[in-house]
Amino acid sequence: MGVNAILLAIAFLAGGLIAALWLALTKSSGKEALGLQSRLDALTATQNEIAGRFTQTLAGQTELQTLLQSRIDALDSRLGTSLKETAEKTAETLGGIHTRLSVIDAAQKNITDLSGQVVSLQEILANKQARGAFGQQQMESIIADALPSGLYEFQAQLSNGCRPDCVIRLPGTKTAIVIDSKFPLESFSWLRSAGDSERKAALAKVRADVLKHVKDIAGKYLLPGETQAPAIMFVPSESIYADLHEFCPELIREAQKAQVVVVSPNILMLAILTVQTVMKDARMREQANLIQKEVGALLNDVRLLNDRVSKLQSHFGQADADIKNILISTGKITSRAEKIEKVELSPSVSAPQIAAGE
């Protein structure tokens, strides 16, 4: 813009000078007129040159403006694309952050729910009645998941009026397997938290509680002819079962002498799997007897079929012999007919024979 203004000012100045020289030329004559005419021509040429440069400058400025505009448009396009990509990446990042926050919220909710469940479990284990129901429910779930419903019964009444937690009746036997759940938590909790001075008393308490449970099971549920020995004492805690074997191995031996087996959830599952195996063997024996019976019936049918095929074969043999005899007879008849056909009788002989025959 500054160059254009300078050129424009020069052009106006040159125009003014030309006008002034033109006026002076009109008023002068002779040599002055010639000098003024040469100056006027020079100024006119200079003005034309300035006009040409001005035109070129305007054309260059237009081209420069076009170039600048194209570069500005390209820059705007790149900026728009960059801003769009940045916005998309920002939105994607925000979405990922939202997803992670959702996962964190879900994990926090699970932790809160788990904390509530732990508190509820502690409340259950602190209450003797609720703790007994908890152990019984765990035992019932193990048995119900592994055995058919017709083989077991919960809270079944025995002949003496006692009701064990579970009774399992195997096929082919009249006696049942008795399972009862016990959970002496207080004694074991005291044993774990006891110091050196209290450890002896805590062990004595554990022995007394467990031995009482063993005697109760042996006295109430071991009935000759009705239940099998040994009975099963279910302890619904692997840690308590391990503590019994670690701190009170003599209790395990005394329980075995009283025909009571102490089991944990894993040991009970193994026992139930053994029952399943026994049941499979019993069913296989039943199916084997049925298969043997059916095979005997099939063998008898095969024998009958063999006899009938033999009789049919003898009938076919007799029919074959009869057919051969018929073929022999038809062959003889055919042979005689052919011989009769070949006999030639003369007319002189045939007429009297026929007359005589009449």
pLDDT tens by residue, 237-281: 787 788 778 878 888 888 888 899 888 888 888 888 887 777 777
Which two tokens mark 254? 């005394």
139 in the same domain as 60:
no
Residue 136 lies in a domain: yes
Sheet order of strands, 260-263 included: 152-154, 166-169, 176-181, 231-234, 260-263
Residue 93 lies in a domain: no
262 in the same domain as 139:
yes
For tokens 């592994």, name the residue.
146
pLDDT at position 350: 46
Residue 299 lies in a domain: no
Q: How far apart are CA 12 and CA 223, in angstroms?
A: 136
pLDDT digits (tens, 9 = 90+) for 184-219: 667 777 766 777 777 778 878 878 888 888 888 888
| Beta strand residue intervals within the chain, DSSP E | 152-154, 166-169, 176-181, 231-234, 260-263
Average pLDDT value for residue range 52-56: 74
Residue 99 lies in a domain: no
178 in the same domain as 36:
no
259 in the same domain as 159:
yes
Q: Which domain holds residue 20?
A: 2-70
Q: Is the pLDDT of residue 145 over 50?
A: yes
pLDDT at position 93: 83
141 in the same domain as 220:
yes
In order, the DSSP letters of 25-60 are HHH--THHHHHHHHHHHHHHHHHHHHHHHHHHHHHH
pLDDT digits (tens, 9 = 90+) for 273-309: 887 777 777 667 777 777 778 888 888 888 888 888 8
pLDDT digits (tens, 9 = 90+) for 310-345: 888 888 888 888 888 888 888 888 888 888 877 755
Residue 34 lies in a domain: yes
CATH number at residue 142: 3.40.1350
276 in the same domain as 139:
yes
Q: What is the DSSP letter of 174?
A: S
Which of 24, 45, 70 is the C-terminal boundary of a domain?
Answer: 70
pLDDT at position 358: 38
142 in the same domain as 66:
no
pTM for the whole thing? Answer: 0.44
pLDDT above 70 covers a percentage of the chain that reads: 75
